[in-house]
């Protein structure tokens, strides 16, 4: 593929988004939650774990600890027992309690509506912060780059070889997508990654993005 100009890449990104919107609309969050606090906890739990597995434990967790105040006073072993089926459950339980305590001490028990402030919470990195800003507050301050978004961005050549970290990949996407679309990208691409663009054996022959000539990695065979 010849070197693509910035203008051409922006136009192709817009056409890809049109296909994604036709497929998934704004996209739906795969995690079950009740409010910004429970969403933040659910996203923390989803690290290196499937959303389906998280959704199996969060009803019990949120019934027992529905607020930051309740979780801040929880016993570590009790939280561990609830989320024991998840990977890294000990570290996640510790982070959840510490997160709730910091919310109570520094933010009045309210999840902050700021991507930088969110990242001061234990267990919350930029991906989690972006998810919360988009899903809970509908105020996108970036694009959440998880494994699906990272993989798809590189297969679509919207991020180049030098964008070898989630942060660099996010920067590449922010450069080609307007802010009003940042809200949708993660949800849409997670669904797209599960349905078509899997890590192994992607379904290129069935892919509507590839069929429209928008994917440089398209391989219909």
Alpha carbon of 85 to those of 53, 77, 80, 194: distances in Å? Answer: 8, 14, 9, 22
Token pair in block for residue 187: 């949800």
SS3 assignment, position 43: helix
What own/partner pairs with CB < 8 Å and gap ≥ 24 does 72-79 have? 72/97, 72/100, 72/101, 72/103, 72/104, 74/100
Whether 16 and 197 have beta carbons less than 8 Å apart is answered as: no
Whether 94 and 77 have beta carbons less than 8 Å apart is answered as: no
Alpha carbon of 48 to those of 17, 70, 167, 168: distances in Å? Answer: 27, 26, 17, 20
**What is the set of active-site residues?**
127, 146
């Amino acid at each position: 593929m010849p070197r693509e100009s910035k203008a051409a890449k922006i136009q192709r990104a817009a056409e890809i988004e049109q296909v994604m919107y036709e497929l998934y609309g704004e996209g739906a969050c795969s995690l079950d939650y009740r409010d910004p606090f429970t969403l933040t906890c659910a996203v923390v739990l989803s690290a290196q774990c499937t959303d389906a597995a998280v959704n199996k434990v969060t009803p019990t967790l949120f019934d027992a600890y529905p607020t930051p105040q309740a979780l801040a006073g929880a016993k570590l072993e009790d939280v561990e027992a609830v989320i024991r089926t998840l990977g890294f459950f000990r570290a996640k339980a510790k982070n959840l309690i510490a997160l709730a305590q910091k919310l109570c001490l520094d933010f009045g028990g309210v999840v902050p509506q700021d991507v930088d402030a969110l990242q001061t919470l234990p267990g919350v990195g930029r991906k989690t912060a972006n998810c919360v800003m988009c899903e809970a507050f509908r105020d996108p301050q970036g694009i959440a780059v998880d494994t699906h978004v990272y993989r798809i961005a590189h297969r679509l050549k919207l991020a180049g070889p030098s964008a070898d970290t989630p942060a660099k990949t996010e920067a590449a996407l922010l450069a080609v997508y307007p802010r009003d679309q940042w809200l949708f990208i993660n949800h849409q691409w997670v669904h797209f990654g599960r349905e078509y663009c899997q890590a192994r054996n992607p379904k290129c022959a069935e892919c509507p993005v590839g069929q429209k000539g928008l994917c440089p990695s398209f391989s219909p065979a």
